[in-house]
Chains A and B, each alone.
Chain A
Amino acid sequence: MVSDEVVRDILRQNEAMSGIVDSLGEDEDLFEKGLDSFGSVQLMLALEERFEVEFPDTLLNRRSFSTIRIIRETVSKLSMGAAA
């Protein structure tokens, strides 16, 4: 299972997110909090690297990376698929 803390650690590397990561609710929209296109791609790369997964094109949309909870669920599903 992917922990909330690990996702926050990765978000902390993002310039727009670094100052507000700890105050972010699980369901708050990261894009509304300042995550931009460049930052979201960097976030995807960091998640792929950290969890040794590859996001398929069908998941490369705004929604899949919009909140901490959704990111956790998306990555968990992918890593379970990889383990199976």
Chain B
Amino acid sequence: MIDLTRRAKRVAEVAALHADAVDREGRFPAEAVAALKAERLLGLQVPSQYGGEGAGLAQIAEVCCTLGQACSASAMVFAMHHIKLASLVTHGLTSDWHCGLMAKVANEQLLIASSTTEAGIGGDLRNSLCAVEAEGDLFNLGKDASVISYGAQADVVLVTARRNPEAPTSDQVLVALMRDQMSLNRTSTWDTLGMRGTCSEGFRLEAKGVPTVQIMPKPFAEIAAQSMLASSHLLWSAVWFGIASYAVDRARSFVQGEARRRPGTVPPSAMRLAEAASALQSMKATVLSGLRKYEGAQHEPDELSSIGFAVSLNNVKTTASSMAVDIVQRSLGIVGISGYRNDTPFSLGRPLRDVMSAPLMIANDRILSNTANLLLVQKGGGQLLSA
């Protein structure tokens, strides 16, 4: 890992420079993604024998946080790419084709997008309507993909589909499609309050005559449970932490400016800053404990698929996402009108609009109802230092 912090910071500088334009124009953060490629950060997670750096999720999360402080959309694109890559790295090592894909991702710095959401199914990623239609060694696949974030810019898309046209909607596989193997026709646009640069547009996806070796060998049920849910909750939370910590930094700098102007007094806003800083620390502890739990469980499939693990990771998502919104709002309260304006060094409008996506992308209510179900059998009795 050659100086990961410095490489991430160099990308963050580029991302920050274009963040307002990306937001205003609702466009893909092309400059930041070019910088990610130049710093070779898209292949970080790929094992070293395939040309990557074998980075763990915590290191990826640190980069997500650094980018989140600069440009939420760039950070989210980076996070989503690495969530897909985590599935490849965790479940693709037994397949030659997928190992080859990992090598290509590392060597050519390919950008991976995800297609789980489907018209008629919505955001329930564990069900699909579309199906792999195989004939011999080749298959066709058509999907009404109602959201593919940065679909138009991705080099590879990992797509969920039913195993075959007769399979139940929950019997899914994950298929890797290269850009030149599919057509993507835009069916909806992405004009949103925040996170405008993720370009999460809808597409009609059509792929014909794709080799069946591109279907991931493990059932998607297992991939979702063992790598995708944990990596999504953790990397998204790291992005939100980056946004929240940027806002608190702005508030801190504002309060310090006030203090310098009135020597001998503690500005009243410093009390609010103390509250925001405390909330930020709690949020950090939540994300970190999730990352540690994941690292401890990573090579133990029983633990990864356990109810206790799912409950803790669900809690990381719901807690971090609501805290992030709260912290940015508190920061705005401290900075006041300078934060509300879009033309001051303390502007917090963009981060606030961006972070408001956190409780909504995979709605917290959906996650809480999943946790509620799991709690019907979990026994509890955990200790401070374990479980």
Contacts and interface: CB of A to CB of B under 8 A. Distances in A.
Contacts of A44: 377
Contact of A61 (B170, B303, B387): B303
A57 B382 CA distance: 10
B170 A63 contact: no
Interface stretch (B202-210, B240-248, B268-276, B304-312): B304-312
Nearest to B219: A32
Q: How many residues of A sit at the interface, in one of the four size bands?
A: 20 to 34
B301 A60 contact: no
Interface in A30-72: 31-34, 36-38, 41, 44-45, 48, 54-58, 60-63
A34 B377 contact: no
Nearest to A58: B306
Contacts, number: 62
Contacts of B373: 37-38, 41
B168 A57 contact: no
A60 B374 CA distance: 10
A45 B376 contact: yes
B126 interface: yes
A44 B374 CA distance: 10
B302 A63 contact: yes
Interface string B302-335: 1101111010000000000000000000000000
B377 A16 contact: no
Contacts of A60: 306-308, 377-379
A43 to B, nearest CB: 10
A30 to B, nearest CB: 10
Interface string B284-314: 0000000000000000011101111010000
B180 to A, nearest CB: 32
Given A37-B374, A41-B376, A60-B307, 13 more contacts: A16-B168, A33-B171, A37-B126, A37-B310, A56-B379, A57-B307, A57-B379, A57-B381, A57-B387, A60-B308, A61-B302, A62-B306, A63-B302
Interface of B: 126, 168, 170-171, 219, 221-222, 225, 301-303, 305-308, 310, 370, 373-374, 376-381, 387
Q: Give the 6 A-B CB pairs with smallest separation, nearest first.
A: A62-B305, A61-B306, A60-B307, A34-B168, A61-B302, A44-B377
